[in-house]
A and B are shown apart, each in its own frame.
Chain A
Amino acid sequence: MTQLILYSVFNGLIVGAFYALMALGLSLILNLSGVINFAHGGFLAIGAYLAFTLMPVLGFWGALLLAPILTALIGVAVERVMIRPLYGRDPLYGLLLTFGLAYIIEDGTRFFWGAQSVPFQVPGWLTTPLSSQFFFLTGYRLFMILIVAIAVGGLFFVLAYTRLGMRIRAGTHDLDTVSTLGVNVGLLRNLNFGIGIYIAGLAGVLAAGLLGLSPTMGASLIMPSFVAIIVGGLGSLLGTLLGGLLIGLVSGLTAVFFPSATEAVIYVMMGLVLLVRPRGLLGEEGRIH
């Protein structure tokens, strides 16, 4: 039993890490541009499939390095062409456009790579269990946690210490002032969108190694990511990270005791958070709207 619970906790945290990666990208874009990127799951799938295509040529490491970057470039182009005209308009339109985009991306991956899910080979030495007692501790899972930690650490470093990060944080609070101070806001939003999509692409490659590839792989992650943002608190990236891990953990534990509620439990949790602490775990006071 203890082993089972440990397994579920571990598994929950892994799933939570995916939620968190998705949610961090979504949050970045939402905070600076006011757009909920419904196509975020689609970009995750693009990252995964690009890695799948690149792997025979570049190997696993090359794919892990290059696929997220290519995904980010696609994201930057999409922002430039389709999403930029929507800034300053009713948030409804951004939501609808990315909603349609999610359809197109899902159908596109199905068109190019086939509707069947395909396996994704990771290096053999990563997939063997490290301990016979704790069979779930494969090298790949630990490796995944390491990559997620590096990515999240890198993101927070960029936001805290680089000029770009400072501008993004400032823009989140008051974009008009940032613009008046001579920052190219269009470019800033463009780069910020790219960073968000890069994280989604990276999550896609990692997810591919763990779960295999299918055109709908991103769509199932988008809703929990919304929950992660709301539970963690709007406007707080640290909250989003915590929220993602927390709902992953809760749904992992629920899988042990009440399997049929595995998916529904996180929405119940969101309801409780909205009831007891509407601004979320680490959300700033006064930012609930």
Chain B
Amino acid sequence: MNKAQRRAFDIAVWALLLTMPFWMRAIGGYTELATRIVVMGLAAMSLNFLLGFTGVLSFGHAAYFGLGAYGTAMAIKYLEQGTLPGMAAGVIIATIAAAIIGALIVRRRGVYFAMVTIAFGQVFYFIAFRWNVVTGGDDGLTGWHRMPIDLGLANLDIFGNDKAFYYFALVIFAICVAIMAMLLNSPFGRTLLAIRENERRARFLGIPIERHIWLSFVISCFFVSVAGALYALLNNFTDPRALRFDLSGNFVIMAVLGGMRFFWGPLIGAAIFVALQDYISSHTENWMSAIGLVFVLVVLFFPRGVLGILRGRSAE
């Protein structure tokens, strides 16, 4: 893709995102589904910061997604905070957890990194599952909802109006995505690419590998926790499944399905996956097999993802 094509693609993506609530119903969806696509898209793109652009395989991102969700929900419920301070609380908690755990695992690579990240994610799952009094246990945390945002001049009713919440989520998405794009285009981002391509060579060039991977991990978890916070707000509810490892797996398959070597890949993967999940789970009881089959087929036949295939064609 040359520069003009890339710009055209960017514009197309934003145009679709901006108008999504208006044509979603026409193709059989609903506004909440559109919001879920944006939220899951943000989560998958955040994961891809680490997976696709640093080359480090994390299979435990649901932990930080869930921490963001629980932090937000608990701040709103127990501390009676507004929507934005609540989100901030969730994101801060998740980022601190990521910073500590990141420091423990940063020397691991490949499958072992994946294994350790999955296992650590389980700690938070069991805390949420077991600490009934505070987290609501298996039933989840209910009895709270997102608050309208007071903008001074006007009141943004993200609680009563589905579309208003969609655009709220989209604004947060846009800010996060813009920061990630900026980071990836900075010397820091180029260094991450260098580590992905050839870690040993990057090390010989004097790049502190561990520090970069740790930073990339924390940044990635920061953004995924923003997505988690939005997810809790979307559902006005959160439960331990927001922390469980199968959600981590879903994030990874979204990134791969869309094309993890591409900036927009994970968003496209998330759109396909979320829509498919929605469709399958309302049409068959055996949705688990269907989702499992998606994993198997993608890995065996489309490992480069949708964008990978499209680009392969245009290059020929």
Residues of A within 8 A of B (CB): 30, 34-36, 82, 85-86, 89-97, 99-104, 106-108, 110-111, 223, 226-227, 229-230, 234, 260-261, 263-264, 267-268, 270-271, 274-275, 278, 288-289
8 nearest A-B pairs in the assembled complex, by CB-CB distance: A100-B295, A103-B292, A104-B292, A107-B288, A100-B292, A107-B289, A267-B123, A97-B299
**Is A36 touching B127 in the complex (CB atoms < 8 A)?**
no
* Interface of chain B residues 65 through 121 with chain A (CB within 8 A): 101, 104-105, 107-112, 114-116, 118-120
Determine the distance from Cα of A113 to Cα of B122 in the docked complex, in whole angstroms: 28
**Is A96 touching B299 in the complex (CB atoms < 8 A)?**
yes
Residue of B nearest to A81 (CB): B300
Q: Which residues of B contact A95 (CB under 8 A)?
A: 57, 59, 111, 114, 252
Q: Which residues of A contact B119 (CB under 8 A)?
A: 223, 226-227, 230, 267, 270
Residue of B nearest to A223 (CB): B122
Q: Which residues of B contact A261 (CB under 8 A)?
A: 130
CB distance from A143 to the nearest CB of B (A): 31
Q: How many A-B residue pairs have CB under 8 A?
A: 127
Q: Which residues of A contact B291 (CB under 8 A)?
A: 100, 103
What are 22 inter-chain pairs, A to B, with CB distance below 8 A? Answer: A30-B111, A85-B300, A91-B114, A92-B114, A92-B252, A95-B111, A95-B114, A95-B252, A96-B249, A96-B253, A97-B300, A99-B253, A100-B296, A107-B292, A111-B286, A226-B116, A261-B130, A264-B122, A288-B107, A289-B107, A289-B108, A289-B110
Determine the distance from Cα of A110 to Cα of B287 in the docked complex, in whole angstroms: 12
CB distance from A209 to the nearest CB of B (A): 27
The DSSP consensus for interface residues of chain B is helix
Determine the distance from Cα of A35 to Cα of B114 in the docked complex, in whole angstroms: 11
Residue from B111, B122, B292, B293 within 8 A of A91 (CB atoms) = B111
Which interface class (under 10, 10 to 19, 20 to 34, 35 or more) fits B? 35 or more
Q: Which residues of A contact B101 (CB under 8 A)?
A: 271
Determine the distance from Cα of A90 to Cα of B110 in the docked complex, in whole angstroms: 8
Residue of A nearest to B294 (CB): A100
Determine the distance from Cα of A229 to Cα of B119 in the docked complex, in whole angstroms: 11
Residue B245 at the A interface, CB < 8 A?
yes
**Is A86 touching B299 in the complex (CB atoms < 8 A)?**
yes
**Is A271 touching B120 in the complex (CB atoms < 8 A)?**
yes
Q: Which residues of B contact A275 (CB under 8 A)?
A: 104
Determine the distance from Cα of A5 to Cα of B120 in the docked complex, in whole angstroms: 28
Residue from B114, B123, B131, B294 within 8 A of A36 (CB atoms) = B114
Known contacts A91-B57, A92-B57, A263-B126; A99/B115 CB under 8 A: no
**Is B110 touching A223 in the complex (CB atoms < 8 A)?**
no
Determine the distance from Cα of A219 to Cα of B127 in the docked complex, in whole angstroms: 18
Determine the distance from Cα of A261 to Cα of B240 in the docked complex, in whole angstroms: 16
Q: Which residues of B contact A90 (CB under 8 A)?
A: 57
**Is B245 touching A223 in the complex (CB atoms < 8 A)?**
yes
Residue B303 at the A interface, CB < 8 A?
yes
Q: Which residues of B contact A230 (CB under 8 A)?
A: 112, 115-116, 119
**Is A91 touching B110 in the complex (CB atoms < 8 A)?**
yes
CB distance from A86 to the nearest CB of B (A): 7
**Is B111 touching A107 in the complex (CB atoms < 8 A)?**
no
Residue of B nearest to A272 (CB): B104
Known A34-B111, A267-B126, A270-B116; further 20 A-B contacts with Cβ < 8 A: A85-B300, A86-B299, A91-B111, A91-B114, A92-B57, A92-B256, A95-B111, A96-B253, A97-B295, A100-B294, A100-B296, A101-B292, A101-B295, A107-B289, A223-B118, A226-B118, A230-B115, A263-B122, A263-B126, A263-B130
CB distance from B289 to the nearest CB of A (A): 4
Residue of B nearest to A36 (CB): B111
Q: Which residues of A contact B256 (CB under 8 A)?
A: 92, 96
Q: Which residues of B contact A267 (CB under 8 A)?
A: 119-120, 122-123, 126
Residue of B nearest to A234 (CB): B112
